[in-house]
Amino acid sequence: MTRIALATTRDLTEIDADDQLLLDALPESELKAWEDDVDWAAYDLVVIRSTWNYIDRLDRFLAWAERVSTVTRLVNPVPVIRWNTDKRYLGQLADAGVPVVPSVFVAPGESVDDASLTGRVVVKPTIANGSNGAKLIDADPQAARDHLGALHAQGRTALIQPYLDQVDTLGEKSLIFLSGTYSHAASKAAILSQSMSFSSGLYADEEMSPATATEAEQEVARAALAAAARVLPEAADLAYARVDLLPSEEGPMLLELELTEPSLFMPFADGAAARVATSLRALLG
């Protein structure tokens, strides 16, 4: 009998909605916390899903992924995880011609010019998820430097991006791809310009809704995935991918390319869980 493990974390206080839908659609699957002592070799496939506490123990998480990949199939694969868990990959995608939200990376000990901190900017760590450590700073370069210094004091490399105001009215769009095929989309209301709450303790609460991706959004999403595959050949065959886009006057811009443990927003699209289940089963032939 085929067995599939959906990797989560014991730090979640309740089962994630995506995980519950996938458990229902994929009866041969079960949730297992990546931190626990699990016989991963007993599974035909291990799918990284809600392992969202890895940001504070990335080396341990990557070592876990390496171990699992030696005894069974892990998706997405380790080289993709290693590349994708640090947002500095955005610089590579921008160099490859993808319309990326302008990004400046500042490692501890490095300096940054005032121009990068002018206006409304977002300062966040490059290793983060769920808006953890992200801060919107409104035309206050000193406050931006203070947050930058706080991140550096923690040993974190920082990412500085201009805040694209259209997100406040149009929201962020997430496009989901399964085995390279577009599946569905969801919209997320602006988070950083609002009072953030962390009811799960692991990520900022989100206001989500169903959405339809425009042709322009799909074009940018496919360009991002194609560029990732050119940069990293292992990214050419992904079980799942989520492309997060922000609206701008120049058109859709890539905010993040989520290839490690993204929510796939299955509750917001009819049949999404069944499509994910079918895609995962197909990996086993």
> Which domains, and CATH codes, for the chain?
4-79 (3.40.50.20), 104-162 (3.30.1490.20), 166-270 (3.30.470.20)
**What gap in Å lies between CA 281 and CA 285, rounded to an integer?**
7
- What's the pTM value of the predicted model, to 2 decimals? 0.94
13-35 confidence digits (pLDDT tens): 899 999 999 999 999 999 999 99
Is pLDDT of 81 > 50?
A: yes
pLDDT at 251: 98
Burial class (CB in 10 A: 0-12, 13-18, 19+), 87: buried
Token pair of 268 as six digits = 């917001």
Token pair of 244 as six digits = 């997060």
* Cβ-Cβ contacts under 8 Å for 57 (sequence gap 6 or more): none
151-198 confidence digits (pLDDT tens): 999 999 999 999 999 999 999 999 999 999 999 999 999 867 555 444
Closest CA to 5 of 202, 26, 278: 26
C-alpha distances in Å from residue 127, one per residue of 59, 193, 246, 251, 255:
11, 21, 20, 26, 14
* 150 residue type, one letter: A
What DSSP character marks residue 100? B
42-61 confidence digits (pLDDT tens): 999 999 999 999 999 999 99
Peptide bond just before 132 cis, omega within 30 deg: no
- What is the arithmetic mean of pLDDT over 98-112? 97
